[in-house]
Structure 1
Amino acid sequence: MPSYLPDTVVFQLYHDDGEAEFVDYMDANSLTFVALGDAERTALCGIDAAAQLHYEGAQRAVVSAAGIVSSIRRRRLRVPFGMSELSQLLRRAYNTEKGNRNNSLTGSTETALLAHAFLDAVWAEESFHCLSTTCRVGNILGSTGIGSTTGDLAVDKWRLDQDIMELRDELMIARTAYDYRPCIYESNRPISNIKEEEMKRINAIESNREKTRERQLSVFCERAKHEEEMAKELEQRGGATLDELERALEAKKRESGALQADRDNRIREYEHTVERIRTRKQDEESASERLRQAMQQLEQELSLRQSAIETREQQLEIFQLDGAREREAIMRERRSIEAA
């Protein structure tokens, strides 16, 4: 999330839609706000004017939320800075309003502050910011008169002390972490025009930055020139110049292209040959299948004819037996006649 923007202050609101909606959630219509570390940090000790505006907006949001939480001590919510948009947004963030049917469910307000501190020395500055913010907000909420004090005064009339305290914290961090020496604050000589002194400081920083950029550019150009000279020297030692290497590379590319084209032609020929073999195989398989079907048909006809022949032979045998029996009967009849 961007630094010094009011978006780094997170507000969480629970709007009451009826007792059935929050039957298991007794903290409905409460207010929760979280102030991140960068939201309380002074913007470059007042040097960056654009960032200072965002910082002041974030500070107003944090102070408004702190005043709202501190004023929720009675059965009636007393919102500070009643003409601000934030107050209009948070006017119904708490149950205890006149005529509210859920006032009997309202409990006492609980405030919790959570600070995330790191053990690593690299994040010591961020840990100091979190702890200092927790201490300052805790002192604000712990005081008994914060609700009545912030409810009637404008923000700009009492933010000066807090700005001075935050500037001192920022200077302490700068001295401890970066060995920073202020040019305006705690100066031995009197300064008549602070804005002019700030512009001088900003111009000096920008000029130093421009000199550093030009120095880096010159170093880069010298390094590129040195590398070019080294490349030419290596070409002379190796006996092959860059143009010769490029021509050899182009020849290799052409040779590789010709080989690739020959390989593609062979692949296409192989594919055509395989396709012809596959077609011939399919034709042979279809012809074999037709011959197999014709043989099966002939075998069926042969079996039918054999069965007909066997039937005729059986009938012939029956006829022959009948003829023999008839002859025997005739012979017996003749013998009987002759005997008579």
Structure 2
Amino acid sequence: MKILVTGGAGYIGSHTCVELISAGHDVVVMDNLSNSHIEVFNRMKNITGHDIPFYEANLLDKDALTNVFENESVDAVIHFAGLKAVGESVEKPFMYYNTNLISTLNLVDCMKRFNVTNLVFSSSATVYGFQETMPLSEDFPLSATNPYGRTKLMIEEMLEDIAAADASLSISLLRYFNPIGAHESGMIGEDPNGIPNNLVPYITQVASGRLKELHVFGTDYPTDDGTGVRDYIHVCDLADGHVKALEWNALNTGIEAFNLGTGRGTSVLEMVEAFKEVTMLDIPCHIQERRAGDVAVSYADPSKANRLLNWIAKRDVMTMCQDSWRWQKNNPQGYKTGKITEGAY
């Protein structure tokens, strides 16, 4: 199949492009590079041996989107493109609702006009809101605690309604937990703008000297060591989940939600200790008050994806740390480090 990957130059998108090509699919990327780097295409070519057709454009631009579908015989779409910072969404809710909701509607409208019925949507575990019971299952009641999360939930609801009205559609809603790690080559990985919002890139930047210390938000949670517990999943396992969802869609119609997680929780301090063990480096930590809106524990029940998609997360926390550190060492300034040629790793 030829797959249009919106936001395909980003962290999860780029790893998914590599997995798609490895699985024998053709890939086309549409991305406006607002939170990604053009250098990633050189890296993906180095890994896969394939040039990836790239359209630098915004999904809010209907003409640019139509141009992609006119030029490429698209069979299916994986939709990553969108804004994703929780704090920014609180400060700029209109921008988040306008960008995330309208871009998705534009995409679905274009798919309909070109008779493309296979869609995988990048959702999030944020749609579960606050839950008392773990692990989180797809049949739990849904809610959201910030504008970013609400856009994910609203898009899921929009796609549910659209699928109910069109029996030809095949849609998978993939609810991610906490993706970390990097491709084993060390050539592509997470390259956040500014100070990282996520734990592991923060740890790697402290280990490399880019940042002074790791801020640990709260040590008084009702967990074994008092720090928050999350379900960390290797980005390559996550990418493989998208390939499996596309294959599921090709054989089934309707809409289904799937958790993509390991089903195991790891605390902040456990992750720090794992990273220390992998790197033999110290990670200075500064303890701070809890952040508003953070939950104590969150981890997935991935059994539905295991059963229906024939998918399972294979990589453990130590592998996640090793791959994250390899990426950071090879790319001390992220993609701005410069082009890595074949054999550099």
Structure with greater proportional helix content: 1
Max radius of gyration: which structure?
1
TM-score interval for Structure 1 and Structure 2 normalised by the shorter chain = under 0.3
Structure with greater proportional strand content: 2
